[in-house]
A and B are shown apart, each in its own frame.
Chain A
Protein backbone atom coordinates (compact mmCIF):
# COMPACT_ATOMS: atom_id res chain seq x y z
CA UNK A 1 0.00 0.00 0.00
CA UNK A 2 1.26 3.46 -0.87
CA UNK A 3 4.01 4.56 -3.20
CA UNK A 4 7.65 4.29 -2.08
CA UNK A 5 9.46 7.54 -2.92
CA UNK A 6 12.23 9.81 -1.72
CA UNK A 7 11.45 13.50 -1.58
CA UNK A 8 12.47 16.62 0.27
CA UNK A 9 9.85 18.11 2.57
CA UNK A 10 9.17 20.94 0.13
CA UNK A 11 8.70 18.49 -2.75
CA UNK A 12 6.41 16.39 -0.57
CA UNK A 13 4.17 19.42 0.08
CA UNK A 14 4.14 20.29 -3.63
CA UNK A 15 3.16 16.71 -4.51
CA UNK A 16 0.33 16.83 -1.95
CA UNK A 17 -0.86 20.08 -3.54
CA UNK A 18 -0.74 18.46 -6.98
CA UNK A 19 -2.74 15.46 -5.80
CA UNK A 20 -5.37 17.74 -4.26
CA UNK A 21 -5.47 20.10 -7.29
CA UNK A 22 -6.79 23.17 -5.46
CA UNK A 23 -8.47 26.06 -7.30
CA UNK A 24 -6.11 28.96 -6.63
CA UNK A 25 -2.55 29.48 -5.45
CA UNK A 26 -1.31 32.95 -4.59
CA UNK A 27 2.41 32.95 -3.90
CA UNK A 28 5.56 34.99 -3.55
CA UNK A 29 8.92 33.21 -3.15
CA UNK A 30 11.02 33.28 0.01
CA UNK A 31 13.75 30.94 1.27
CA UNK A 32 13.34 28.14 2.32
CA UNK A 33 9.76 27.66 1.07
CA UNK A 34 10.48 28.93 -2.47
CA UNK A 35 10.64 25.42 -3.92
CA UNK A 36 6.99 24.78 -3.04
CA UNK A 37 5.48 27.33 -5.47
CA UNK A 38 8.39 26.58 -7.83
CA UNK A 39 7.54 22.87 -8.11
CA UNK A 40 3.83 23.63 -8.09
CA UNK A 41 4.07 26.21 -10.88
CA UNK A 42 5.67 23.53 -13.07
CA UNK A 43 2.64 21.29 -12.45
CA UNK A 44 0.44 24.21 -13.50
CA UNK A 45 2.59 24.77 -16.59
CA UNK A 46 2.54 21.06 -17.53
CA UNK A 47 -1.23 20.91 -17.15
CA UNK A 48 -0.98 18.35 -14.32
CA UNK A 49 -3.30 20.58 -12.27
CA UNK A 50 -5.82 23.19 -13.37
CA UNK A 51 -5.10 25.53 -10.47
CA UNK A 52 -5.10 29.27 -11.18
CA UNK A 53 -1.55 30.27 -10.17
CA UNK A 54 -1.38 33.94 -9.27
CA UNK A 55 2.18 35.26 -8.97
CA UNK A 56 1.91 38.35 -6.77
CA UNK A 57 4.37 41.06 -5.71
CA UNK A 58 4.37 40.35 -1.97
CA UNK A 59 3.19 37.96 0.72
CA UNK A 60 0.60 40.50 1.85
CA UNK A 61 -0.90 40.19 -1.63
CA UNK A 62 -0.46 36.39 -1.66
CA UNK A 63 -2.67 36.11 1.42
CA UNK A 64 -5.08 38.73 0.05
CA UNK A 65 -5.38 36.64 -3.11
CA UNK A 66 -6.18 33.57 -1.06
CA UNK A 67 -8.77 35.48 0.97
CA UNK A 68 -10.54 36.70 -2.18
CA UNK A 69 -10.45 33.28 -3.82
CA UNK A 70 -11.58 31.35 -0.75
CA UNK A 71 -14.40 33.84 -0.13
CA UNK A 72 -15.52 33.23 -3.73
CA UNK A 73 -15.88 29.54 -2.86
CA UNK A 74 -12.49 28.25 -4.09
CA UNK A 75 -9.87 26.20 -2.31
CA UNK A 76 -6.93 28.59 -1.98
CA UNK A 77 -3.37 27.81 -0.96
CA UNK A 78 -0.03 29.54 -0.41
CA UNK A 79 3.42 28.84 1.00
CA UNK A 80 5.88 31.04 2.84
CA UNK A 81 8.59 31.42 5.49
CA UNK A 82 10.06 33.90 7.94
CA UNK A 83 9.61 37.57 7.01
CA UNK A 84 7.16 36.45 4.32
CA UNK A 85 4.88 35.17 7.06
CA UNK A 86 5.42 38.41 8.99
CA UNK A 87 4.49 40.41 5.91
CA UNK A 88 1.20 38.44 5.77
CA UNK A 89 0.50 39.17 9.42
CA UNK A 90 -2.33 41.66 8.91
CA UNK A 91 -4.08 39.44 6.36
CA UNK A 92 -3.69 36.30 8.51
CA UNK A 93 -6.09 37.87 11.02
CA UNK A 94 -8.47 38.80 8.19
CA UNK A 95 -8.44 35.23 6.84
CA UNK A 96 -9.16 33.75 10.27
CA UNK A 97 -11.85 36.23 11.30
CA UNK A 98 -13.55 35.89 7.91
CA UNK A 99 -13.59 32.16 8.69
CA UNK A 100 -11.92 31.18 5.42
CA UNK A 101 -10.29 27.72 5.48
CA UNK A 102 -7.19 28.65 3.47
CA UNK A 103 -4.20 26.26 3.57
CA UNK A 104 -0.74 27.76 4.08
CA UNK A 105 2.45 25.69 3.98
CA UNK A 106 5.19 27.16 6.18
CA UNK A 107 8.84 26.09 5.99
CA UNK A 108 9.87 27.62 9.30
CA UNK A 109 12.82 29.98 9.40
CA UNK A 110 14.29 32.49 11.80
CA UNK A 111 13.18 36.11 11.76
CA UNK A 112 15.69 38.92 11.44
CA UNK A 113 17.96 39.94 12.89
CA UNK A 114 20.77 39.20 12.55
CA UNK A 115 19.59 38.17 9.09
CA UNK A 116 19.52 34.38 8.93
CA UNK A 117 17.94 31.90 6.53
CA UNK A 118 18.07 28.84 8.76
CA UNK A 119 15.49 27.10 10.87
CA UNK A 120 13.81 28.06 14.07
CA UNK A 121 10.18 28.70 14.98
CA UNK A 122 10.21 32.45 15.51
CA UNK A 123 8.13 33.00 12.35
CA UNK A 124 5.35 30.54 13.21
CA UNK A 125 5.33 31.43 16.91
CA UNK A 126 4.95 35.12 16.12
CA UNK A 127 1.62 34.46 14.39
CA UNK A 128 0.31 32.02 16.98
CA UNK A 129 -2.50 34.34 18.09
CA UNK A 130 -3.79 35.07 14.56
CA UNK A 131 -6.54 32.46 14.83
CA UNK A 132 -5.08 29.83 12.48
CA UNK A 133 -4.96 26.10 13.05
CA UNK A 134 -1.29 25.07 13.16
CA UNK A 135 0.09 21.55 12.67
CA UNK A 136 3.83 20.83 12.93
CA UNK A 137 5.78 17.97 11.34
CA UNK A 138 8.83 16.02 12.49
CA UNK A 139 9.57 14.57 9.03
CA UNK A 140 8.82 15.00 5.33
CA UNK A 141 6.28 12.18 5.76
CA UNK A 142 4.44 14.03 8.50
CA UNK A 143 4.47 17.29 6.53
CA UNK A 144 2.89 15.45 3.58
CA UNK A 145 0.38 13.57 5.75
CA UNK A 146 -0.60 16.74 7.63
CA UNK A 147 -1.13 18.52 4.32
CA UNK A 148 -3.46 15.80 3.07
CA UNK A 149 -5.53 16.18 6.26
CA UNK A 150 -5.40 19.98 6.35
CA UNK A 151 -8.38 20.90 4.21
CA UNK A 152 -10.75 18.41 5.83
CA UNK A 153 -9.87 19.84 9.25
CA UNK A 154 -9.95 23.50 8.21
CA UNK A 155 -13.18 23.25 6.24
CA UNK A 156 -15.00 21.45 9.08
CA UNK A 157 -14.47 24.40 11.45
CA UNK A 158 -14.10 27.23 8.93
CA UNK A 159 -10.66 28.26 10.09
CA UNK A 160 -7.51 28.62 8.01
CA UNK A 161 -4.66 26.17 8.63
CA UNK A 162 -0.86 26.31 8.60
CA UNK A 163 1.11 23.17 7.84
CA UNK A 164 4.52 23.83 9.37
CA UNK A 165 7.81 22.00 8.89
CA UNK A 166 11.39 22.90 9.69
CA UNK A 167 13.11 24.95 7.01
CA UNK A 168 16.09 23.17 5.41
CA UNK A 169 16.17 20.45 8.08
CA UNK A 170 13.19 18.70 6.53
CA UNK A 171 12.25 21.09 3.70
CA UNK A 172 15.54 20.50 1.84
CA UNK A 173 16.55 17.02 3.02
CA UNK A 174 15.81 14.06 0.75
CA UNK A 175 14.33 11.20 2.74
CA UNK A 176 12.15 8.17 2.12
CA UNK A 177 8.44 8.83 2.04
CA UNK A 178 5.32 6.77 1.36
CA UNK A 179 2.90 8.63 -0.88
CA UNK A 180 -0.82 7.96 -1.06
CA UNK A 181 -2.24 7.08 -4.48
CA UNK A 182 -3.80 10.02 -6.39
CA UNK A 183 -7.34 8.62 -6.46
CA UNK A 184 -7.26 7.87 -2.73
CA UNK A 185 -6.12 11.42 -1.99
CA UNK A 186 -8.97 12.83 -4.09
CA UNK A 187 -11.50 10.64 -2.27
CA UNK A 188 -10.05 11.48 1.13
CA UNK A 189 -9.91 15.24 0.64
CA UNK A 190 -13.24 15.44 -1.22
CA UNK A 191 -14.90 18.47 -2.79
CA UNK A 192 -15.03 21.87 -1.13
CA UNK A 193 -18.67 22.80 -0.60
CA UNK A 194 -18.83 25.96 1.48
CA UNK A 195 -22.17 26.81 3.01
CA UNK A 196 -21.78 30.41 1.92
CA UNK A 197 -19.62 32.06 -0.71
CA UNK A 198 -19.50 35.24 -2.76
CA UNK A 199 -20.40 33.35 -5.91
CA UNK A 200 -23.33 31.48 -4.36
CA UNK A 201 -26.10 33.56 -2.94
CA UNK A 202 -25.02 36.55 -0.89
CA UNK A 203 -22.43 36.92 1.81
CA UNK A 204 -20.69 39.79 3.54
CA UNK A 205 -16.90 39.44 3.73
CA UNK A 206 -14.81 41.57 6.03
CA UNK A 207 -17.54 43.82 7.40
CA UNK A 208 -17.09 46.41 10.12
CA UNK A 209 -18.22 45.21 13.54
CA UNK A 210 -19.16 47.71 16.20
CA UNK A 211 -18.64 46.95 19.89
CA UNK A 212 -22.16 45.54 19.82
CA UNK A 213 -20.98 42.59 17.66
CA UNK A 214 -17.18 42.31 17.61
CA UNK A 215 -16.72 40.23 20.75
CA UNK A 216 -19.46 37.78 19.66
CA UNK A 217 -17.57 37.22 16.39
CA UNK A 218 -14.41 36.52 18.40
CA UNK A 219 -16.25 34.17 20.75
CA UNK A 220 -17.41 32.17 17.73
CA UNK A 221 -13.84 32.05 16.43
CA UNK A 222 -12.70 30.76 19.83
CA UNK A 223 -15.43 28.09 19.75
CA UNK A 224 -14.29 26.94 16.30
CA UNK A 225 -10.76 26.47 17.68
CA UNK A 226 -12.12 24.52 20.65
CA UNK A 227 -14.19 22.33 18.30
CA UNK A 228 -11.14 21.71 16.11
CA UNK A 229 -9.61 19.30 18.64
CA UNK A 230 -12.25 16.65 17.99
CA UNK A 231 -12.15 17.33 14.26
CA UNK A 232 -8.40 16.77 14.13
CA UNK A 233 -8.81 13.50 16.01
CA UNK A 234 -11.57 12.28 13.71
CA UNK A 235 -9.79 13.25 10.46
CA UNK A 236 -6.62 11.62 11.81
CA UNK A 237 -8.58 8.43 12.54
CA UNK A 238 -9.88 8.37 8.95
CA UNK A 239 -6.36 8.97 7.68
CA UNK A 240 -5.09 6.07 9.76
CA UNK A 241 -7.74 3.81 8.20
CA UNK A 242 -6.45 4.77 4.75
CA UNK A 243 -2.69 4.64 5.40
CA UNK A 244 -2.07 2.87 8.71
CA UNK A 245 -0.20 5.96 9.92
CA UNK A 246 -1.49 7.11 13.30
CA UNK A 247 -1.75 10.77 14.28
CA UNK A 248 -3.16 12.61 17.27
CA UNK A 249 -2.84 16.06 18.82
CA UNK A 250 0.37 14.95 20.55
CA UNK A 251 2.68 11.97 20.24
CA UNK A 252 3.94 10.33 23.41
CA UNK A 253 7.27 8.52 23.06
CA UNK A 254 8.49 6.29 25.91
CA UNK A 255 6.27 8.19 28.35
CA UNK A 256 4.65 5.25 30.14
CA UNK A 257 7.13 5.08 33.05
CA UNK A 258 9.14 8.23 32.24
CA UNK A 259 10.51 10.19 35.20
CA UNK A 260 12.14 12.86 33.05
CA UNK A 261 10.44 14.21 29.93
CA UNK A 262 10.88 16.83 27.27
CA UNK A 263 8.14 18.58 25.32
CA UNK A 264 9.26 19.36 21.80
CA UNK A 265 7.93 20.34 18.39
CA UNK A 266 9.23 19.76 14.85
CA UNK A 267 12.22 17.92 13.41
CA UNK A 268 14.33 17.84 16.59
CA UNK A 269 11.79 15.40 18.05
CA UNK A 270 13.40 12.74 15.84
CA UNK A 271 16.88 13.57 17.10
CA UNK A 272 15.51 13.49 20.66
CA UNK A 273 14.02 10.02 20.06
CA UNK A 274 17.50 8.76 19.15
CA UNK A 275 18.87 10.28 22.38
CA UNK A 276 16.05 8.62 24.34
CA UNK A 277 16.74 5.21 22.74
CA UNK A 278 20.37 5.52 23.86
CA UNK A 279 19.50 6.61 27.40
CA UNK A 280 16.80 3.95 27.75
CA UNK A 281 19.39 1.32 26.78
CA UNK A 282 21.32 2.30 29.91
CA UNK A 283 18.19 2.12 32.06
CA UNK A 284 17.30 5.81 32.24
CA UNK A 285 13.57 6.50 32.44
CA UNK A 286 13.25 9.28 29.89
CA UNK A 287 10.59 10.14 27.33
CA UNK A 288 9.18 12.88 25.16
CA UNK A 289 5.94 14.51 24.18
CA UNK A 290 5.84 15.83 20.63
CA UNK A 291 3.30 18.50 19.88
CA UNK A 292 1.67 17.97 16.49
CA UNK A 293 -1.22 20.38 16.93
CA UNK A 294 0.03 23.67 18.34
CA UNK A 295 -3.29 25.38 17.45
CA UNK A 296 -5.55 24.19 18.95
CA UNK A 297 -3.20 23.69 21.89
CA UNK A 298 -3.56 20.23 23.48
CA UNK A 299 -3.49 21.56 27.05
CA UNK A 300 -5.39 18.73 28.74
CA UNK A 301 -3.50 16.05 26.82
CA UNK A 302 -0.08 17.47 27.75
CA UNK A 303 -1.02 17.94 31.41
CA UNK A 304 -2.24 14.33 31.55
CA UNK A 305 0.93 13.03 29.91
CA UNK A 306 3.14 14.97 32.35
CA UNK A 307 1.17 14.10 35.47
CA UNK A 308 3.51 11.39 36.71
CA UNK A 309 6.94 12.68 35.69
CA UNK A 310 9.35 14.10 38.25
CA UNK A 311 10.71 16.82 36.02
CA UNK A 312 10.22 18.11 32.49
CA UNK A 313 11.86 20.50 30.05
CA UNK A 314 9.85 22.41 27.49
CA UNK A 315 11.94 23.01 24.38
CA UNK A 316 11.26 26.32 22.60
CA UNK A 317 12.84 27.04 19.20
CA UNK A 318 11.83 30.68 19.62
CA UNK A 319 12.07 33.15 22.48
CA UNK A 320 9.32 35.47 23.65
CA UNK A 321 11.81 37.99 25.08
CA UNK A 322 9.64 38.43 28.14
CA UNK A 323 12.61 37.84 30.48
CA UNK A 324 11.35 34.48 31.71
CA UNK A 325 10.28 31.92 29.07
CA UNK A 326 9.43 30.96 25.50
CA UNK A 327 5.91 30.49 24.12
CA UNK A 328 5.47 26.73 24.52
CA UNK A 329 6.70 26.77 28.13
CA UNK A 330 4.14 29.46 28.92
CA UNK A 331 1.32 27.38 27.48
CA UNK A 332 2.46 24.11 29.05
CA UNK A 333 2.73 25.84 32.43
CA UNK A 334 -0.78 27.24 32.03
CA UNK A 335 -2.01 23.76 31.11
CA UNK A 336 -0.47 22.30 34.28
CA UNK A 337 -1.90 25.11 36.40
CA UNK A 338 -5.43 24.67 35.03
CA UNK A 339 -5.21 20.89 35.52
CA UNK A 340 -4.01 21.54 39.08
CA UNK A 341 -0.90 19.41 38.60
CA UNK A 342 1.87 20.86 40.73
CA UNK A 343 4.27 18.02 41.47
CA UNK A 344 6.46 17.87 38.35
CA UNK A 345 9.15 20.52 38.25
CA UNK A 346 9.59 22.25 34.91
CA UNK A 347 12.27 24.20 33.10
CA UNK A 348 12.35 25.94 29.74
CA UNK A 349 15.09 25.35 27.19
CA UNK A 350 15.54 27.83 24.35
CA UNK A 351 17.41 25.98 21.60
CA UNK A 352 18.25 25.74 17.91
CA UNK A 353 17.77 29.43 17.11
CA UNK A 354 18.83 30.48 13.61
CA UNK A 355 19.78 26.93 12.65
CA UNK A 356 22.10 26.12 15.59
CA UNK A 357 22.42 22.39 14.99
CA UNK A 358 20.49 20.26 17.48
CA UNK A 359 22.48 17.07 18.06
CA UNK A 360 21.73 13.84 19.89
CA UNK A 361 24.27 15.10 22.45
CA UNK A 362 22.31 18.36 22.82
CA UNK A 363 19.26 16.43 23.94
CA UNK A 364 21.37 14.25 26.23
CA UNK A 365 22.60 17.45 27.89
CA UNK A 366 18.98 18.47 28.53
CA UNK A 367 18.24 15.13 30.19
CA UNK A 368 21.42 15.52 32.25
CA UNK A 369 20.17 18.92 33.45
CA UNK A 370 16.87 17.31 34.41
CA UNK A 371 18.74 14.57 36.24
CA UNK A 372 20.55 17.22 38.26
CA UNK A 373 17.20 18.73 39.28
CA UNK A 374 15.88 15.32 40.36
CA UNK A 375 19.02 14.68 42.42
CA UNK A 376 19.23 18.08 44.11
CA UNK A 377 15.55 18.93 44.23
CA UNK A 378 16.57 22.40 43.12
CA UNK A 379 15.18 23.76 39.83
CA UNK A 380 17.62 26.65 39.75
CA UNK A 381 17.27 28.92 36.74
CA UNK A 382 14.16 27.84 34.83
CA UNK A 383 14.90 29.94 31.74
CA UNK A 384 17.90 28.37 30.00
CA UNK A 385 19.60 28.55 26.62
CA UNK A 386 21.04 25.30 25.18
CA UNK A 387 24.40 24.96 23.40
CA UNK A 388 25.14 28.67 23.53
CA UNK A 389 28.50 30.39 24.04
CA UNK A 390 28.26 32.69 27.07
Chain B
Protein backbone atom coordinates (compact mmCIF):
# COMPACT_ATOMS: atom_id res chain seq x y z
CA UNK B 1 0.00 0.00 0.00
CA UNK B 2 1.09 3.55 -0.67
CA UNK B 3 2.01 5.73 2.30
CA UNK B 4 -1.24 7.65 2.07
CA UNK B 5 -4.57 6.81 0.46
CA UNK B 6 -7.11 9.58 0.00
CA UNK B 7 -10.78 8.81 -0.57
CA UNK B 8 -13.69 11.13 -1.37
CA UNK B 9 -17.30 10.14 -0.76
CA UNK B 10 -20.27 11.63 -2.60
CA UNK B 11 -23.74 11.01 -1.27
CA UNK B 12 -26.99 12.70 -0.43
CA UNK B 13 -27.94 13.88 3.06
CA UNK B 14 -29.49 10.98 4.97
CA UNK B 15 -27.87 8.13 2.99
CA UNK B 16 -25.07 7.55 5.46
CA UNK B 17 -22.05 8.57 3.36
CA UNK B 18 -20.61 10.42 6.35
CA UNK B 19 -21.20 7.39 8.59
CA UNK B 20 -19.57 5.12 6.01
CA UNK B 21 -16.49 7.36 5.90
CA UNK B 22 -16.26 7.21 9.69
CA UNK B 23 -16.67 3.40 9.64
CA UNK B 24 -13.87 3.14 7.10
CA UNK B 25 -11.69 5.33 9.33
CA UNK B 26 -12.50 3.00 12.24
CA UNK B 27 -11.66 -0.13 10.26
CA UNK B 28 -8.34 1.32 9.11
CA UNK B 29 -7.58 2.58 12.64
CA UNK B 30 -8.11 -0.93 13.98
CA UNK B 31 -5.41 -2.24 11.64
CA UNK B 32 -2.90 0.22 13.08
CA UNK B 33 -3.19 3.05 10.58
CA UNK B 34 -3.36 6.78 11.06
CA UNK B 35 -6.76 7.97 9.88
CA UNK B 36 -8.78 11.04 9.14
CA UNK B 37 -12.54 10.86 8.58
CA UNK B 38 -14.44 14.08 8.08
CA UNK B 39 -17.44 15.40 6.20
CA UNK B 40 -17.73 18.78 4.52
CA UNK B 41 -20.34 20.62 6.55
CA UNK B 42 -22.92 23.04 5.35
CA UNK B 43 -26.64 23.57 5.81
CA UNK B 44 -27.66 19.95 6.35
CA UNK B 45 -30.79 18.81 4.64
CA UNK B 46 -32.09 15.45 3.47
CA UNK B 47 -31.29 14.75 -0.14
CA UNK B 48 -28.77 17.54 -0.70
CA UNK B 49 -25.38 16.50 -2.13
CA UNK B 50 -22.80 15.95 0.62
CA UNK B 51 -19.10 15.13 0.53
CA UNK B 52 -17.01 13.23 3.06
CA UNK B 53 -13.33 12.34 3.12
CA UNK B 54 -10.80 9.81 4.37
CA UNK B 55 -7.05 9.97 4.65
CA UNK B 56 -5.46 6.66 5.61
CA UNK B 57 -1.71 6.55 6.12
CA UNK B 58 1.15 4.88 7.90
CA UNK B 59 2.39 8.21 9.32
CA UNK B 60 0.13 10.92 10.72
CA UNK B 61 -0.97 13.36 8.01
CA UNK B 62 -0.85 16.97 9.20
CA UNK B 63 -2.99 18.28 6.35
CA UNK B 64 -6.36 19.70 7.37
CA UNK B 65 -7.92 20.53 4.04
CA UNK B 66 -10.47 18.80 1.84
CA UNK B 67 -9.20 16.27 -0.70
CA UNK B 68 -8.81 17.53 -4.27
CA UNK B 69 -6.77 14.72 -5.86
CA UNK B 70 -8.29 11.54 -4.42
CA UNK B 71 -7.00 8.04 -5.09
CA UNK B 72 -10.57 6.74 -4.92
CA UNK B 73 -14.07 8.16 -5.18
CA UNK B 74 -17.22 6.50 -3.82
CA UNK B 75 -20.60 7.56 -5.18
CA UNK B 76 -23.41 6.43 -2.89
CA UNK B 77 -26.17 7.89 -5.10
CA UNK B 78 -26.06 7.36 -8.86
CA UNK B 79 -28.19 10.46 -9.56
CA UNK B 80 -25.23 12.59 -8.44
CA UNK B 81 -23.32 11.65 -11.62
CA UNK B 82 -25.17 14.33 -13.58
CA UNK B 83 -25.23 16.88 -10.73
CA UNK B 84 -21.69 16.79 -9.33
CA UNK B 85 -18.28 16.49 -11.02
CA UNK B 86 -17.51 13.34 -9.05
CA UNK B 87 -14.30 12.48 -10.91
CA UNK B 88 -12.75 15.95 -10.42
CA UNK B 89 -9.07 15.43 -9.64
CA UNK B 90 -9.48 11.64 -9.38
CA UNK B 91 -6.18 9.93 -10.16
CA UNK B 92 -6.21 7.78 -13.30
CA UNK B 93 -4.44 4.95 -11.48
CA UNK B 94 -7.22 5.02 -8.87
CA UNK B 95 -10.86 4.03 -9.22
CA UNK B 96 -14.43 5.20 -8.83
CA UNK B 97 -16.98 2.97 -7.10
CA UNK B 98 -20.62 3.71 -7.90
CA UNK B 99 -23.82 2.40 -6.32
CA UNK B 100 -25.74 1.30 -9.41
CA UNK B 101 -27.47 -1.66 -11.06
CA UNK B 102 -25.78 -0.66 -14.31
CA UNK B 103 -22.47 -2.00 -15.61
CA UNK B 104 -19.22 0.00 -15.57
CA UNK B 105 -19.40 0.24 -19.39
CA UNK B 106 -22.86 1.79 -19.19
CA UNK B 107 -21.73 4.42 -16.65
CA UNK B 108 -18.35 5.35 -18.09
CA UNK B 109 -19.82 7.80 -20.65
CA UNK B 110 -21.26 9.83 -17.75
CA UNK B 111 -17.84 10.26 -16.14
CA UNK B 112 -16.51 13.19 -18.18
CA UNK B 113 -13.67 11.25 -19.78
CA UNK B 114 -12.32 9.58 -16.65
CA UNK B 115 -9.81 6.97 -17.84
CA UNK B 116 -9.28 4.95 -14.66
CA UNK B 117 -11.13 1.96 -13.26
CA UNK B 118 -14.90 2.21 -12.98
CA UNK B 119 -16.54 -0.15 -10.47
CA UNK B 120 -20.23 -0.69 -9.83
CA UNK B 121 -22.14 -2.39 -7.06
CA UNK B 122 -25.91 -2.62 -6.65
CA UNK B 123 -25.80 -1.62 -3.00
CA UNK B 124 -29.52 -0.80 -2.91
CA UNK B 125 -30.45 -4.31 -3.99
CA UNK B 126 -28.01 -6.00 -1.61
CA UNK B 127 -29.28 -3.86 1.24
CA UNK B 128 -32.93 -4.66 0.43
CA UNK B 129 -32.20 -8.39 0.25
CA UNK B 130 -30.05 -8.63 3.38
CA UNK B 131 -31.47 -5.90 5.62
CA UNK B 132 -34.94 -5.40 4.16
CA UNK B 133 -34.25 -1.67 3.80
CA UNK B 134 -32.25 0.69 1.61
CA UNK B 135 -29.11 1.35 3.68
CA UNK B 136 -26.50 1.51 0.90
CA UNK B 137 -23.60 2.61 3.10
CA UNK B 138 -22.69 -0.84 4.47
CA UNK B 139 -22.30 -2.47 1.03
CA UNK B 140 -20.53 0.64 -0.30
CA UNK B 141 -18.04 0.47 2.56
CA UNK B 142 -17.28 -3.17 1.72
CA UNK B 143 -16.92 -2.36 -1.99
CA UNK B 144 -14.37 0.41 -1.45
CA UNK B 145 -12.38 -1.79 0.94
CA UNK B 146 -12.30 -4.54 -1.71
CA UNK B 147 -11.40 -2.19 -4.58
CA UNK B 148 -8.82 -0.07 -2.72
CA UNK B 149 -7.24 -2.79 -0.58
CA UNK B 150 -6.83 -0.12 2.08
CA UNK B 151 -7.66 -2.77 4.69
CA UNK B 152 -7.05 -6.51 4.18
CA UNK B 153 -10.36 -8.26 3.47
CA UNK B 154 -10.15 -10.89 6.24
CA UNK B 155 -9.11 -8.30 8.80
CA UNK B 156 -11.95 -6.04 7.70
CA UNK B 157 -14.59 -8.78 8.01
CA UNK B 158 -13.35 -9.75 11.47
CA UNK B 159 -13.26 -6.14 12.61
CA UNK B 160 -16.72 -5.31 11.26
CA UNK B 161 -18.18 -8.38 12.95
CA UNK B 162 -16.81 -7.13 16.27
CA UNK B 163 -17.99 -3.56 15.71
CA UNK B 164 -21.51 -4.68 14.64
CA UNK B 165 -21.73 -6.80 17.81
CA UNK B 166 -20.84 -3.68 19.78
CA UNK B 167 -23.00 -1.25 17.79
CA UNK B 168 -26.06 -3.50 17.63
CA UNK B 169 -25.76 -5.00 21.13
CA UNK B 170 -29.43 -4.22 21.77
CA UNK B 171 -30.67 -5.57 18.39
CA UNK B 172 -28.51 -8.59 17.54
CA UNK B 173 -31.02 -9.68 14.88
CA UNK B 174 -29.55 -7.15 12.40
CA UNK B 175 -25.92 -8.29 12.75
CA UNK B 176 -26.28 -11.27 10.41
CA UNK B 177 -27.88 -9.15 7.68
CA UNK B 178 -25.16 -6.52 7.88
CA UNK B 179 -22.39 -9.12 7.69
CA UNK B 180 -24.13 -10.75 4.73
CA UNK B 181 -24.36 -7.34 3.03
CA UNK B 182 -20.62 -6.79 3.45
CA UNK B 183 -19.65 -10.21 2.10
CA UNK B 184 -22.03 -10.09 -0.87
CA UNK B 185 -20.83 -6.63 -1.80
CA UNK B 186 -17.23 -7.81 -1.88
CA UNK B 187 -18.20 -10.67 -4.16
CA UNK B 188 -20.50 -8.71 -6.44
CA UNK B 189 -18.57 -5.49 -7.02
CA UNK B 190 -17.85 -5.28 -10.77
CA UNK B 191 -14.61 -3.77 -11.97
CA UNK B 192 -14.63 -2.33 -15.47
Where the two chains meet, the residues of A that have a C-beta atom closer than 8 Å to any C-beta of B are 6, 32, 117-118, 138-139, 166, 168-170, 172-176, 267-268, 270-271, 273-274, 355, 357-360, 362
The segment out of B64-72, B97-105, B121-129, B176-184 that lies at the interface is: B64-72
Q: Is the CB of A174 within 8 A of B38?
A: yes
Count A-B contacts at CB 8 Å. 65
The chain B residue with its CB closest to the CB of A115 is B43
Question: How far is A270 from B22 in the complex, measured between Cα atoms in Å?
Answer: 21
Q: Is the CB of B25 within 8 A of A6?
A: yes
Question: How far is A174 from B38 in the complex, measured between Cα atoms in Å?
Answer: 6
Question: How far is A268 from B35 in the complex, measured between Cα atoms in Å?
Answer: 18
Q: Is the CB of B41 within 8 A of A360?
A: no
Tell yes or no: B62 within 8 A of A by CB. yes
Question: What residues of B have a CB within 8 angstroms of the CB of A355 in the complex?
Answer: 41
A172 CB contact (under 8 Å) in B25, B26, B39: B39
Q: Is the CB of A271 within 8 A of B25?
A: no
Question: How far is A359 from B89 in the complex, measured between Cα atoms in Å?
Answer: 14
Given A174-B22, A355-B41, list of 17 further CB < 8 A pairs? Answer: A117-B41, A117-B42, A117-B43, A118-B41, A138-B64, A139-B62, A169-B38, A172-B38, A172-B39, A174-B38, A175-B36, A175-B60, A176-B34, A176-B35, A268-B64, A274-B63, A357-B65
A174 and B37 contact, Cβ closer than 8 Å, known pairs A6-B25, A360-B63:
yes
Tell yes or no: B29 within 8 A of A by CB. yes
The chain A residue with its CB closest to the CB of B18 is A172
The chain A residue with its CB closest to the CB of B28 is A6
Q: Is the CB of B22 within 8 A of A169?
A: no
Question: What residues of A have a CB within 8 angstroms of the CB of B60 in the complex?
Answer: 175-176
Q: Chain A CB within 10 Å — which of B35, B41, B65, B66 has the most? A: B65
A270 and B62 contact, Cβ closer than 8 Å, known pairs A6-B25, A6-B29:
yes
Question: What residues of A have a CB within 8 angstroms of the CB of B41 in the complex?
Answer: 32, 117-118, 168, 172, 355
Q: Is the CB of A173 within 8 A of B65?
A: no
Where the two chains meet, the residues of B that have a C-beta atom closer than 8 Å to any C-beta of A are 22, 25-26, 29, 34-39, 41-43, 60-66, 68
- Sample 26 A-B pairs with CB under 8 A, ordered by A number: A6-B35, A117-B42, A138-B62, A166-B64, A168-B38, A168-B41, A169-B38, A170-B64, A172-B41, A173-B37, A174-B25, A174-B26, A174-B38, A175-B34, A175-B35, A175-B36, A176-B29, A176-B34, A268-B64, A271-B62, A271-B64, A273-B62, A274-B63, A355-B41, A357-B65, A360-B63
Q: Is the CB of B39 within 8 A of A174?
A: no
The chain A residue with its CB closest to the CB of B34 is A176
How far is the CB of B84 from the nearest CB of chain A, in Å? 16
Question: What residues of B have a CB within 8 angstroms of the CB of A359 in the complex?
Answer: 65-66, 68
How far is the CB of B92 from the nearest CB of chain A, in Å? 20
The chain B residue with its CB closest to the CB of A359 is B65
Question: How far is A201 from B135 in the complex, measured between Cα atoms in Å?
Answer: 62
Question: How far is A20 from B42 in the complex, measured between Cα atoms in Å?
Answer: 33
Question: How far is A169 from B41 in the complex, measured between Cα atoms in Å?
Answer: 10
A267 CB contact (under 8 Å) in B26, B34, B64, B68: B64
Question: How far is A270 from B130 in the complex, measured between Cα atoms in Å?
Answer: 43
Question: What residues of B have a CB within 8 angstroms of the CB of A273 in the complex?
Answer: 62
Question: What residues of A have a CB within 8 angstroms of the CB of B35 in the complex?
Answer: 6, 174-176
Question: What residues of A have a CB within 8 angstroms of the CB of B29 in the complex?
Answer: 6, 176
Question: How far is A16 from B149 in the complex, measured between Cα atoms in Å?
Answer: 35
A173 and B34 contact, Cβ closer than 8 Å, known pairs A6-B25, A117-B41:
no
Question: What residues of B have a CB within 8 angstroms of the CB of A274 in the complex?
Answer: 61-63
